[in-house]
Structure 1
Amino acid sequence: MIQGYDFTNRTALITGAASGIGAASARWLDRQGIARLILIDLDGDGLSKLDLSCEVETHAADVADEAFWQALEPRLGKLDHAVVNAGIGAGGQMAELEFAEWRRVMAINLDGAFLTLSTALRAMRKAGRGSAVVTASVTGLKPIPGIGAYGVSKAAVAHMARIAAAENAAHGIRVNGIAPGGVDTAIWNSPELEAQFAEHGREAVIGQMGKTTPRGRFATADELAQDIGYLLSDASANATGTVLTSDGGYTL
């Protein structure tokens, strides 16, 4: 194992763990020797298909459900790390966006992130140490027309991570965020792109979209998992309250 990347005897909680960045983070931690993973996603079938060698506890649950977290917290036990990752994509101009859609996005992306992080922080405080990473987005840093609710929610969780870092450093807990650019995950499987996928093929459409970045392609979920793993690990012991931009140069 790389120095500072030993997760032996540690426990991590990951939301949005059934696919994409969450699943990739679970696989990465498993390869680094994590002892136990607590995986949460509405997609229970997706969670059951993850092939992991460590001890795994899965919950098919809505991260925006306060009652779920209230029931889980007393049973969490030891918690060393958290990946606050569950989220949904959404489109729509601010002037046309219905409030119900705004609230749907905020419930999962912001309220769910708050419930996850606050629960994880209390568990880590009992242990006297820990680290968490919150998945934000470059759309929370750079205004992108047409995805206002999503961008606002991601700007909010990035700042939430900074505030949590300031509040918990004295408890031996580090909190950082990550702001991905385009990542080839299921978040792009939206009604808006279905016609293009049907006509040109998903790989071709995603490839063309990726050319908008200086790197020339979207990142993979595994690449983002490595960035998240670094922020969770002891190798980043001096980093807290940062939001790592991992976007292939998109925000340059």
Structure 2
Amino acid sequence: MNTPSDPGRLGAAAHPLADFQDRHLLVTGAASGIGAAVARQLIARGARVSAVDLDEAGLGRLHTHAAQDAPGHASRSARLWTAPLDVRDAGRVDQVIAQAEAAQGPLHGLASVAGVLEMGEVAELTDAQWQRCFDINATGVFHVCRAVARRLRERREGAIVTVSSNAATTPRAGMAAYAASKAAATQFSRCLGLELAPHGIRVNIVSPGSTDTAMQQAMWALGSSREAVIAGDPGRWRLGIPLAKIARPDEIAAAVLFLLSDQASHITLHDLRVDGGATLDR
């Protein structure tokens, strides 16, 4: 059974039509949460995956999980290549992507998932908190997408999905730095999509709501809770979740895989919210 602590185990069952056999895809933020779920589901669909993250221990766990998804099936883990990467370092981004292509072949697509959360009212927010959100959530997306776009443009094929947030379009008290950085990533991705469309390359966005990841759990540690998020908070002008549940990472990954797949071959510039109705699908 798929559980919140077991991302990506849906595998082929979640995507009976989305076949990634022998396609090479890069996944950032792949050590845990949504990124790990995306990487595992892609591997389960036959993809070659280059998984990058700052968390080297988490990348090691991803190798273990990839093998466990199909016990005795050595080719599963063989299709996974990992490397540590700080997306804030443009030079290192280019270097790692070149290494990934040398190891796994030409890239066919990107899932840009790496992101961080900084909480705080604007009046108390520090420069460092603001800068960290933008450095990773916006500039990091730019670095990785630029490097991948250059390669895909030459081949005139491929797809890019940026994992943003429903906070990019819906104001959240205490989340100004995060929301603003995700709004930047969303609009950047749309602009990139316009530029790449003439080359046959699609660029889309998946905007999750509250998802059972380490990031969400850190918010609960600051005084929120699963129940409070589901119920909403009128005092903070925040709606609850109509489906009355927190998303699992594999549910967000399913949306990412759809937009990367040929099943979404005529979809580009789209922002797909996966939030259980929390923003009334605005």
Summarize the Cα distance change of 1:195–1:178 in structure 2 as closer, same or farther, 3 Å threshold. closer
CA contact (8 A) 1:15 1:86 kept: yes
Distance (Å, rounded) in 2 between the aligned partners of 1:3 and 1:183: 24
**Where in structure 2 are there 5+ consecutive unaligned residues?**
1-11, 67-75, 232-239
Question: How big is each residue's C-alpha offset from its partner over 1:201-245, in whole Å with a ceiling of 9 and x where there is no partner?
Answer: xxxx32442342001011100000101100000000010001111
TM-score normalised by length of structure 2: 0.82
Shift of 1:41: 0.6
**1:95: Cα distance to partner?**
2.0
* 2:88 alignment partner, one of 64, 84, 87: 64
Q: Distance in 2 between matches of 1:209 and 1:63?
A: 30
CA contact under 8 A between 1:76 and 1:123: conserved in structure 2? no
Aligned residue among 35, 42, 61 for 1:49: 61
Q: How does 1:113-128 map to 2 (within 5 A)?
A: 113-128=141-156
Match of 2:21?
8
Match of 2:251, SS state, is helix
- What residue ranges of structure 1 are gaps of 5+ in the alignment? 198-204
CA drift at 1:81:
1.1
Aligned to 2:159: 131
Seq. identity, %: 35
Query: Does residue 80 of structure 1 match 2:102?
Result: no
Equivalent residues in 2 for 1:107-186 (5 A)?
A: 107-186=135-214
For residue 220 of structure 2, the aligned residue among 188, 193, 203 is 193
Where 1:100 maps in the other structure, the secondary structure is helix
Could you tell me which amino acid in structure 2 is paired with residue 17 of structure 1?
Answer: A
**21, 24, 29: which one pairs with 2:42?**
29
1:27 positional shift? 1.0
SS in 1 for 2:124: coil
Q: Of 238, 244, 249, which residue of structure 1 is paired with 2:266?
A: 238
CA distance in 1, matches of 2:241, 2:222: 23
Q: CA deviation at 1:134?
A: 0.2
The code of the aligned residue for 1:67 comes to G
Alignment of 1:17 with 2:30, yes or no, is: yes
Cα 1:101–1:44 shift into 2, 3 Å:
same
Give per-residue Cα distances to partners, 1:100-153, cap 9 Å, x unaligned: 211111111111111011111112123220001001101001001111000000
TM, length-normalised to structure 1 = 0.91
Separation in 2, partners of 1:152, 1:67: 25
Task: Provide Cα deviations, 1:16-45, integer angstroms capped at 9, x if missing partner.
Answer: 0000000000111111111x1111111111
- 1:76 CA displacement: 4.1
Q: Which moved more, 1:216-225 or 1:71-80?
A: 71-80
Aligned-residue offset at 1:75: 3.2
1:210 aligns with 2:223: no
CA deviations over 1:64-103 (Å, ceiling 9, x no partner): 1122113224334300010011001111111221212111
Letter in 2 for 1:72: V
Partner residue, 2:71: none
Q: In the alignment, is the contact (CA less than 8 A) between 1:64 and 1:112 conserved in 2? A: yes
**CA separation in 2, counterparts of 1:56 and 1:180?**
25
Which of 121, 124, 142 does residue 96 from structure 1 map onto?
Answer: 124
Match of residue 257 from structure 2? 229
Q: Report the Cα offset of residue 195 of structure 1.
A: 6.3
Over the aligned positions, Cα root-mean-square deviation in angstroms equals: 1.6
Does structure 2 retain, via aligned residues, the 8 Å contact 1:3–1:235?
no
